[in-house]
Amino acid sequence: MASVKKKLWENNGTFSSNDGIRASSLNFEKGQRTIHLQKGNGFKRKTQTHPSFNDSFEGELQAFLIDEDALHTYDDLTKVNPVTPTTVLKCLQARYRAKVFYTQAGCTLVALNPFQPVPHLYTLDVMREYHCAPQPQEFKPHIFVAAEEAYRNVQGQVEPANQSLVVSGESGAGKTWTSRCLMKYYATVAASSSSQKCQDTVERIEKRVLDSNPIMEAFGNACTLRNHNSSRFGKYIQLQLNRSQLLVGASIQTYLLEKTRVAFQAANERNFHIFYQMVKGATEEQRHKWRMSCDQWFNWLPNADKTLEEDCFEETTDAMTNMGITKEKQEQIFHILAGLLHLGNVSFCPRRMNRNHVTSRSNPKPAAVVYLCLLFLPAALSDFLQSTAELLQMPQEQLLSCLRLRALKAGKQSVLLKPCSLAECTVRRDCLAKVIYAHVFDWLVAFINNSICADTSSWCNFIGVLDVYGFECFALNNLEQLCINYANEKLQQHFVAHYLKAQQEEYVSEGLEWSFIKYQDNQSCLDLIEGSPTCIFSLLNEDCRLNRASDAKQFKARLEKELSDNACLSWDKFSEQPHFTVSHYAGNVCYQIEGMMEKNKDPVPVELIHMLQESQDPLLQGLFAHHDMEMNSSRGHGKVVTVVSKFKNSLESLMKILHSTTPHYTRCIKPNPECQPLTFKKEEVIVQLQACGIVETINISAAGFPIRIPYPSFLQRYGLIVNSRMCRQSLNGNGPETDKDILSPTVADVLSVVLRSHPLETPSASETETHSSLVHCGKTKVFLTHYMLELLESQRDRVRSQRAFCIQCCWRRHYRRKQEARRRAIIRIQAAVRAWLIRREVLQWHEAANLIQKTWRKWRTAMETLAETELDDAVDVKEAPVYDSAVRESGSVQLSTCPEPVTVRAWPLGLALASAPSITVAMTASGFQKVMSLMACLKLSFRSGDYKVETNQFEQGVASIRAQPQESIKLHLQRSPLLYADICPGSKGDGVTGFNQILLENII
Which residues are documented as binding site? Answer: 169-176
DSSP state of 76: B
Do the beta carbons of residue 104 and residue 701 sit within 8 Å? no
Q: Does residue 543 sit in helix, strand or coil?
A: helix
CB neighbours of residue 534 within 10 Å? 17
Length of the chain: 1004
Q: Name which of 181, 169, 187 is nearest 230 in CA terms.
A: 169
Residue 232 Cα distances to 268, 306, 469, angstroms: 16, 19, 6
| Binding-site entries for ATP | 169-176
Phi, psi of 58 (to 5 degrees): -60, -35
- Rounded Cα distance between 881 and 45, Å, is 145
Separation between Cα atoms, residue 530 and residue 510, nearest integer Å: 33
Contacts by 398-406, CB closer than 8 A, 24 or more apart: 398/611, 398/614, 399/611, 402/428, 402/432, 402/605, 402/607, 402/608, 402/611, 403/346, 403/348, 403/428, 403/429, 403/432, 404/348, 404/375, 405/607, 406/605, 406/607
Per the CB < 8 A criterion, the answer to whether 700 and 203 are in contact is: no
Beta strands in 432-491 (DSSP E): 461-467
For helices 124-132 and 175-189, give the axis angle rounded to 10 degrees: 70
Measure Cα distances from 804 to 793, 795, 800 in Å: 16, 14, 6
Buried (b) or exposed (e) across 307-338, using 16+ Cβ within 10 A?
eeebbbbebbbebbebbebeeeeeebbbbbbb
Strand 108-112, strand 662-669: pairing:
parallel
Helix (H, G, I), strand (E, B) or coil at 664: strand
User: Which helix (H) or strand (E) is 812 found in, with range?
Assistant: helix 786-872
State the sign of the Cα–Cα–Cα–Cα dihedral 848, 854, 857, 861.
negative
Please compute, for residue 938, the number of CA atoms within 13 A of its CA located in the half-sphere on the CB side.
19
Calculate the alpha carbon distances from 675 to 115, 214, 272, 273 in Å: 6, 22, 20, 19
Q: Please state, in angstroms and rounded to a whole number, the distance separating the CA atoms of residues 511 and 513.
A: 6
Of residues 890, 887, 914, 933, the one with CA closest to residue 983: 914
Q: Given strand 587-592, what is the order of strands in its sheet?
A: 569-570, 579-584, 587-592
CA distance 659 to 494: 8
Q: Helices 85-97 and 694-703: crossing angle, nearest 10°?
A: 100
Distance CA 214, CA 229 (A): 12
Contact 232, 257 (CB under 8 A): yes
Q: Which distant-in-sequence residues (6+ apart) come within 8 Å of 942 by Cβ?
A: 949
Beta strands in 381-439 (DSSP E): 405-410, 414-419
* CA distances from residue 946 to 407, 979, 984 in whole angstroms, order as listed: 120, 11, 21
**DSSP class of residue 10?**
T
Q: What does the radius of gyration of the chain's CA atoms come to, in whole angstroms?
A: 50
Q: What are phi and psi of 303, to 5 degrees?
A: 55, 40
3 state SS of 722: coil
